[in-house]
Amino acid sequence: MTHRRQASHTKARRSSATVAASATPSWGPCSVHGGAHLSAAQKAELEAVCAHIGQAGKGITACDEGPGTIGSRFENVGIVNTEENRRAYRQMLFETPNANKYLSAAILDPETLYQKSSTSGKLFPHALNDIGICPGVKPHLKVYALPGQNGATVMQGLDSLAARCKEYKAAGCKFAKWRSPIEIDLTTGQPSDLTIETNMQDLARYALICQAEGLVPIVEPDVSLKGDHDLETAVRINLKIQSVLFKAMLDHGVYMEGSLLKSNMVNPGKACKTNYTVDELAIANLQVFRRCFPTAMVSANFLSGGQSLEDAAARLDAINKHKTAKDPWNLSFSWSAALQMPLFELCRGKSELPLKEMEELYAKELEIAGAAALGQYTRTGTSGDHKAK
């Protein structure tokens, strides 16, 4: 090659490199970092919603059960499963006097988004917003069993999520919640690395899509209480699950300051033969968070996951009592069954929803939950302790 041709070839390569460099995003040839694709206004909106939901002493009422699930609960106590009964029941959960003193948010089933309050005549998302309760939605679809994983599952719905998020945002929602249920079964090797990674990658992608559509993502890794595993095993597996989750969120470029966590409490399996005090359980939960929960995320709202209200409140209270200055998060509740199951029991022997009685009990339950979220609840007897089975 002549000197002239060689110089021309070198110049062409430099020109090509310059074009490639100019096309490379400012964050480099890797995934987007820390929500860099979002505008300052988008980030501020997400952070404001997180701050509202993460108010001290307030929590979330989770009433996102589909018509079939809540219908089976109705039918179990003799109430007919009609759309009007579902609507009236949910209105009671939102509009019980002083409910907004203890609730910062409510997770709705898509059906509820398009039902109206009989008090204001407004659709529920707007009625909730008017009383200071942030409306959100459950956007995932059906559960799917992963082949070869002994019954372990993953949620469907990512492919069509962006379109649904646009719809939910237009309907007045400010956040969404995606649940990934996981069981500990040491005899079958679950949760396997594949089960964990598949579910946590999905949660991260869901969070990324939500934020792009203007919704705060609540990520919910839900480890079941089923099993006979001990507390140390629960700590080890929950730590693995959450560390994989947060790494996946960071790798996806999720804006962590605009995200929230809804997780199970770290507990031994219900059939565990070892006794644990409520204080031991509280310390285990804080150990997991201290080792991997980003301080950029302002709040974790625990699900009840089959615990009674008394146990869930005692454990949340103990966690908050054991918090120190190195634990910056708001730790509160996002309860469904713990609050609702006692309400359904009031329906037995009645042909219609006893809404007034339900209101009175629900108000007392919310007061208990709010006190626990502040570490100001006084437990009864040994509530919150794990008793060997």
For 52-78, write each residue's pLDDT tens digit. Answer: 999 999 999 999 999 999 999 999 999
Tell me the C-alpha to C-alpha distance, in Å, between residue 219 and each of 124, 126, 177, 178, 188: 23, 24, 6, 6, 26
For residue 58, give the nearest of 258, 252, 237, 299 by alpha carbon.
299
pLDDT of residue 389: 76
What amino acid positions are annotated as catalytic residues? 220, 262
Answer whether residue 15 shows pLDDT above 90.
no
The answer to whether the beta carbons of residues 354 and 91 sit under 8 Å apart is: no
For residue 257, give the nearest of 54, 115, 5, 59 by alpha carbon.
54
pLDDT band at 11 (very low <50, low <70, confident <90, very high): very low
How many beta carbons lie within 10 A of that of residue 69, not counting itself?
12
Instruction: List beta partners, residue 103.
Output: 59
Largest interatomic CA distance in the chain: 99
CATH 3.20.20.70 fits 35-373, yes or no: yes
How confident is the model over 203-255, as pLDDT tens digits? 999 999 999 999 999 999 999 999 999 999 999 999 999 999 999 999 999 99
Tell me the C-alpha to C-alpha distance, in Å, between residue 244 and each of 34, 80, 199, 289, 330: 17, 43, 10, 13, 22
Question: What residue segments make up the domains of the chain, in order of their start?
Answer: 35-373
φ, ψ of residue 103 to 5 degrees: the values are -115, 130
The answer to whether the beta carbons of residues 377 and 371 sit under 8 Å apart is: yes
How confident is the model over 94-135, as pLDDT tens digits? 999 999 999 999 999 999 999 999 999 999 999 999 999 999
For residue 249, give the nearest of 375, 345, 258, 73 by alpha carbon.
258
The answer to whether the beta carbons of residues 237 and 263 sit under 8 Å apart is: no
CA dist., res. 185 & res. 227, Å (int): 7
Cis peptide bond upstream of 328, omega within 30: no
